[in-house]
Structure 1
């Protein structure tokens, strides 16, 4: 990284890391490039960012030109994509409205959700993309719904605890198996728990908690929402890693997210191609034996490490 970059650069870099949509990324990257002083020491950095900007613009144009086949596609954003699956009136839309800033059509009649709708769910210092889908069992939508479920990182099965949640869960699992959706992390969200019988809820938890995370919730009373957020993070199997330049404070506002089990070299690859090529070692604060410990590039990182 070139020295003597102005404070505006680091402010713009932080906004770029937080950008979610392609439009936000393009705008943030344009601003970031404009803050880099023009001299020999920054030529490589500017060229690299211009290449990224060109790629982002090309991807945006391709998406706009794509045909009907992409009508229901949901571009993955945030730390991980979580798709909600459930039957009519299970409360998926109400739940996603509480968990995110999205505003799906919430109604007490079946099939009020007809298109995929995504929103960003905050968890501490990162965000997850939640995708609300039409109810399972509708032949006109099941084709593309199964495609989104197949591509998601985590599946949240939403069941109505006021009804027979056991039957709903088994039917959902059977349907996913019938669609040949490969094994992936599941969360069972027992919605409307405020209206359900306590004994039946205890039996339900006892049956499934050894297999999947089970979280009882009430979108109406906003109960169990914090537990659901935590379950999404735990199920996504990712870690947060914070960057620190020598002699400066770490950037604790914009962590990098990596798959569980990633090493220092993987982080370097994400940050910048020059880091990846030239990396010899790194210093770790967090999971090391002591703060600032020098580690090799194959060192396995942990959640909340500072590098």
Structure 2
């Protein structure tokens, strides 16, 4: 692992001293490709030095969604968890209070949302410092990252945390780049694009793919603005996750109203004070909104639906997903479904649907079996 860290440092140093201009784009692109490859090697479990999860990190995923709390020590993650769930994560005014992953359940709008309080991470976490590798790897399993920040401290805290997550393969509030790579047996590497990409060309694509021992492939680019970083992400797709992030600034009671207003206007940002119990409900509401979950109700034939007990499913779920949520073998007995609600063509009247029908929030569904 030491050798890999040394190589990463050498590449970072070379990138830092290389001026960014048109003439150096190709060289920097190759360096980025090598850097991503070494970082991936550093994070693989079988790399020198191990990198197992460690005690306390194997938290089983449960509930309708998982939210991971990420942040530096003593920013208020434990206090937030204690306020929104029945779990009491140890909180104190000194660093590294939480040394393991502490899960709790937030019950909201009929959903059970698992909140995982991860240990505070430090600069260099993606390289294994402060058990950071295990912490950030656990964050990869989340449906939403709640980055808890200290409103009294520098804006650099957010930038450093983003860099740590970026280095370990977590892309915050980004969509998967519109690039497809199809390996083939012969013919070399061919770049195809609807509109010529602005920031990559066939020479660069060839060199980066060959560095990953890919010598024959068709590369399709559908977005002219894709970058070298986007291409590298697609090459390493198995190790990259795209996760929505909500930046949550705590301790707003300790800064001016003007500063609170400035922070609150930033994109994907909410503010709170755990100590004064300010804004906690707003944060919970924003978590629900960002998870984009759907509440739907099942109805037996000839009976009224039970609106007190919704079934919670993911956005864009189909009747097949609903069947799987009830029981893994349920769809084998499926005949058709009757759906009331905004996804029905007939408004208040039921629509007869198959397994591919997409349900909407607060739909009522009757499953008819064979």
On whether the aligned pair clears a TM of 0.5, the verdict is yes
Which of residues 217, 223, 243 is equivalent to 2:278? 223
CA deviation profile, 1:111-148 (whole Å, cap 9, x unmatched): 11111111111212222111111111162321210121
Aligned pairs (5 A) from 1:61-100: 71-100=56-85
- Structure with greater strand share of residues: 2
1:36-55 to structure 2, matched below 5 A, reads none
Q: Distance in 2 between matches of 1:124 and 1:257?
A: 9
5 Å-filtered alignment, 1:131-146, equals 131-137=116-122, 139-146=129-136
Distance 2:308 2:328 in 1: 22
**Deviation, structure 1 residue 69:** 5.4
* Aligned residue number for residue 260 of structure 2: 201
Write the distance in 2 (CA, Å) between the matches of 1:253 and 1:117.
29
Deviation at 1:75, TM superposition (A): 0.6
Query: If each structure's helix is expressed as a fraction of its own residues, which one has the higher value?
Result: 1
Distance 1:226 1:140 in 2: 32
Alignment of 1:15-30 (within 5 A): none
Q: Which has the larger radius of gyration?
A: 2
Per-residue deviation, residues 40-80 of structure 1 (Å, max 9, x unmatched): xxxxxxxxxxxxxxxxxxxxxxxxxxx98564211111111
5+ long unaligned stretches in structure 2: 1-51, 171-240, 366-370
Contact kept? 2:110, 2:312, Cα under 8 Å: no
Instruction: Write out per-residue CA displacement over residues 149-199 of structure 1, whole angstroms, 9 at most, x where no aligned residue.
Output: 1111110000011222x2221111111101112221111111111222222
Structure-2 change in CA distance of 1:70 and 1:90 (3 Å): closer
SS at match of 1:284: strand
Shift of 1:293: 1.2
Contact kept in structure 2, 1:191 and 1:218, CA below 8 Å: yes
Cα distance, 1:254 vs structure 2: 3.3
Query: Which of residues 125, 129, 133 is equivalent to 2:110?
Result: 125
After alignment, is 279-288 or 88-97 more displaced? 279-288
Whole-angstrom CA distance in 1 between matches of 2:96 and 2:55: 22
Change in CA separation of 1:134 and 1:68 when aligned onto 2, cut-off 3 Å = closer
Equivalent residue of 1:120, what SS? strand
- Give the conservation status (yes or no) of the 8 Å contact 2:56–2:101: no
Tell me, what secondary structure is at the counterpart of 1:151?
coil
Which among 299, 312, 333 is matched to residue 257 of structure 1? 312
Structure 2: how far apart are the matches of 1:303 and 1:99? 24
The number of aligned residues is 236
Give the distance between the partners of 2:328 and 2:259, measured in 1 at CA.
Answer: 55
Aligned to 1:294: 351
Task: Determine the C-alpha separation between the residues in 2 that align with 1:218 and 1:300.
Answer: 39
Unaligned runs of 5+ in 1: 1-66
Aligned to 1:152, which of 142, 161, 169?
Answer: 142
For 2:159 and 2:256, the matched residues in 1 are separated by 19
Over the aligned positions, Cα root-mean-square deviation in angstroms equals: 2.0
The correspondence for 1:266, drawn from 321, 338, 341, is: 321
Q: Equivalent of 1:168, from 153, 157, 165?
A: 157
- Cα distance in structure 1, aligned partners of 2:254 and 2:54: 41
C-alpha distance 70-284 of structure 1, shift in aligned 2 (>3 A)? farther
